[in-house]
Amino acid sequence: MNKDLILLGHGSGGKLSHQLLDDLIIPTLSGISRAGQNDAAVVEHGGQRLAFTTDSYVVDPIFFPGGNIGGLAVNGTVNDLAMMGARPLFISVGLIIEEGFSRTELAEVLSSMRGAADAAGVRIVTGDTKVVPRGKADRIFINTSGVGAIEHSFAISGAGARTGDKVIVNGTIGDHGIAVMARREGLELETDILSDCAPLNGLVAEILAEAGEAVHVLRDPTRGGVATTLKEIALQSDKIITLHERALPLNGAVKGVCSILGLDPLYVANEGKLLAVVAPEAAERLLARMKRHPLGHGAAIIGEVGDGGGKVQMETAVGGVRAVEMLAGEQLPRIC
């Protein structure tokens, strides 16, 4: 096999992505260790702690049930900042547009970005636009970078999970990935599955107000889904995370599509979900508070942290136990 080729799987957010980061990108660019990898960097300047992040959006189709690439690009970056416990402040926008793209659609994408920024309370303060010849990009790619202020003294990071902690998710999993996939593949569903694309900074503010230092990890399980994100946390914290299959909130239509296509919702992308790893004494109280928030109605405690090294396991719905690994490449639909 030719090891020199970059494959689509290298962008899946799963194992191949991690290998590319570990073997090439991080060592070449800066030599930071994996353990320090979070959704955003935390930097200090002039006594102020800031979170700084960047992300590129290449979703296909660009318009999907429940949103479009514009709102996604703002919300995704807002969420990456929020996962560090930061208050998102400023965002930059880089547009790479393919020749021949429609101005009407561009206007719709931009208006969605504006709406998302207003909803999240962030300001779009700088940007750049490039147009490339037809065929050199797929309609429109967007990069957003963001800066947020960290206004508390404790650390929230992927390495923070402690034995006994509870794992909370704020609602149903896999909605975004399945909404996009169903639209992309032209699946005709009786009920439209909507993307969960949303800014999570408001919910995070509530979480921090309620639980403060009891919040050890916050992560948004985007590419690679809940399974891959939890595996990252388990590895960074050197702990074992046990999930309870029966506790996982799952929309019936998402479950159905996953069954039909042979996909595991644990590995499907989310864009309005967070995983909070919190001290056990704060878990129930925090859950109740989250449920009162519009983006936390479906919140549930889905697992707990135990002693052990970098593992995720699941107690299955029928009482068996199995390992949960990272997504290996792309999730591919099966033959039969």
Partner 1 sequence: MNYQDEFRDRTVVLGFAARIRELVAGRTVPMTFMEVCGTHTMSIYQYGLRSLLPPQVRLISGPGCPVCVTPNGYVDRAVALCRLPGVTVATFGDMVRVPGSSSSLIEERAKGADVRIVYSPLDAVTLAAKNPDRKVVFLGVGFETTAPTIAGSILAAKQQGLTNYFVLAAHKTIPIPMEVLADDPELQVDGYLCPAHVSVVIGAAAYRFLAEERGVPCVVTGFEPVDVMQGVEMLVRQVVEGKPRVEIQYSRVVKREGNRKAQGVIAEVLTPFDAPWRGIGVIPGSGLRIADAYAEFDAEKAIPVEVEETREHAGCLCGEILKGKVSPFDCPLFGGACTPESPVGACMVSSEGTCAAAYKYGQ
Contacts with partner 1 by CB under 8 A lie at 1-2, 5-9, 14-16, 19, 185, 246, 252, 255-256, 259, 261-262, 316-323, 325, 328-330, 332-336
Q: Least separation, in Å, of the C-beta of 315 and partner 1?
A: 9
In the complex, the smallest distance separating the C-beta of residue 36 from partner 1, rounded to whole angstroms, is 23
- Cβ of residue 49: shortest distance to partner 1, in angstroms? 36
In terms of CB distance, is 186 or 294 closer to partner 1?
186
Measured from the CB atom, the residue of 266 and 278 that comes closer to partner 1 is: 266
Contact call for residues 91 and 122 (beta carbons, < 8 A):
yes
CB of 193 to partner 1, least distance (A): 16
At its nearest, how many Å lie between partner 1 and the CB of residue 257? 11
Q: Minimum distance from CB of 81 to partner 1 (Å)?
A: 30
Residues 6+ apart with CB under 8 A from 151: 87
Q: Which is nearer to partner 1, 122 or 181 (CB)?
A: 181
Closest approach, Cβ 322 to partner 1, in A, equals 4
On the CB side of 128, CA atoms within 13 Å amount to: 7
Spatial neighbors of 86 by CB under 8 A, at least 6 apart, are 40, 50, 51, 148, 149, 150
Q: Which is nearer to partner 1, 209 or 323 (CB)?
A: 323
Measured from the CB atom, the residue of 215 and 263 that comes closer to partner 1 is 263
| SS3 of the chain | CCCCCCCHHHHCCCHHHHHHHHHHHHHHHCCCCHHHCCCCEEEEECCEEEEEEEEEECCCCCEECCEEHHHHHHHHHHHHHHCCCEEEEEEEEEEEEECCCCHHHHHHHHHHHHHHHHHHCCEEEEEEEEEECCCCCCCEEEEEEEEEEECCCCCCCCCCCCCCCEEEECCCCCHHHHHHHHHHCCCCCCCCCCCCCCCCHHHHHHHHHHHHHHEEEEECCCCCHHHHHHHHHHHHHCEEEEEEHHHCCCCHHHHHHHHHHCCCHHHCCCCCCCEEEECHHHHHHHHHHHHCCCCCCCCEEEEEEEECCCEEEEECCCCCEEEECCCCCCCCCCCC
Q: How far is the CB of 80 from partner 1 (least distance, A)?
A: 25
